[in-house]
Amino acid sequence: GAVVSQHPSWVICKSGTSVKIECRSLDFQATTMFWYRQFPKQSLMLMATSNEGSKATYEQGVEKDKFLINHASLTLSTLTVTSAHPEDSSFYICSAPNPVADRKAQYFGPGTRLLVL
Amino acid sequence: AQSVSQHNHHVILSEAASLELGCNYSYGGTVNLFWYVQYPGQHLQLLLKYFSGDPLVKGIKGFEAEFIKSKFSFNLRKPSVQWSDTAEYFCAVNAGNNRKLIWGLGTSLAVNP
């Protein structure tokens, strides 16, 4: 299989605090992971590409200092939303390709719902 | 720039009706094509994919899709839908060896029992 987990599944925080979201590949190694944001009833918006051992690549318009990405190991990438504000409330999803099983398809985590009060 | 368009934003069908969801992309080179499904409250799952070979691909749960290169299309079909097919369906494309997916806006399918 190709299982991707995310933690936490949902989080509520106060405005101004930072929130860390973890994305793990459970049964494969992922040198690359992708972070998406999904608004209600809308498509996925790619935020950044997380690369193990190097800096993440951010999409245009995504603030790298606000959305800190760390890909510390071959099975873990973290997204930290710094100084969160209500407009950061969203559904954050990570994905990873499994190079052994199927290098071209991506496998998605269950998502993390963030609510900033 | 690459883009993916899904023509139907909302589709409502009765059980046993046939389904076809349109997907067109804009890119002139080699592409990999995907359909993902998101059931209510669940995460995205790969429904089917096309990399090369037979342009008619079969996926899970009775879904199939046909790649028509001349039309830049990859439409999703199912001959007889079920209530459990109610979900959001997303078409996605990546070009060649680029792993970054370009997504369509999605189609919300509601199947009435």
Of the candidates B49, B100, B103, the beta carbon closest to that of A43 is on B103
- For residue range B52-110, list pLDDT tens digits in order: 899 999 999 999 999 999 999 999 999 999 999 999 999 999 876 677 888 999 999 99
Between residues 73 and 102 of chain A, which touch chain B (CB distance below 8 Å)?
93, 95, 97
Q: Which residues in chain B are contacts of A110 at CB distance < 8 A?
A: 42-43
Q: What is the pLDDT along chain A (117 residues), one digit of tens a residue?
A: 578 999 999 999 999 999 999 999 998 888 899 999 988 777 889 999 999 888 999 999 999 999 999 998 999 999 999 999 999 999 999 999 876 666 667 889 999 999 999
Residue A109, min C-alpha distance to chain B (Å): 7
SS (HEC) of chain B? CCEEEECCCEEEEECCCCEEECEEEECCCCEEEEEEEECCCCCCEEEEEECCCCCEEECHHHCEEEEEHHHCEEEEEECCCCHHHCEEEEEEEEECCCCCCEECCCEEEEEEC
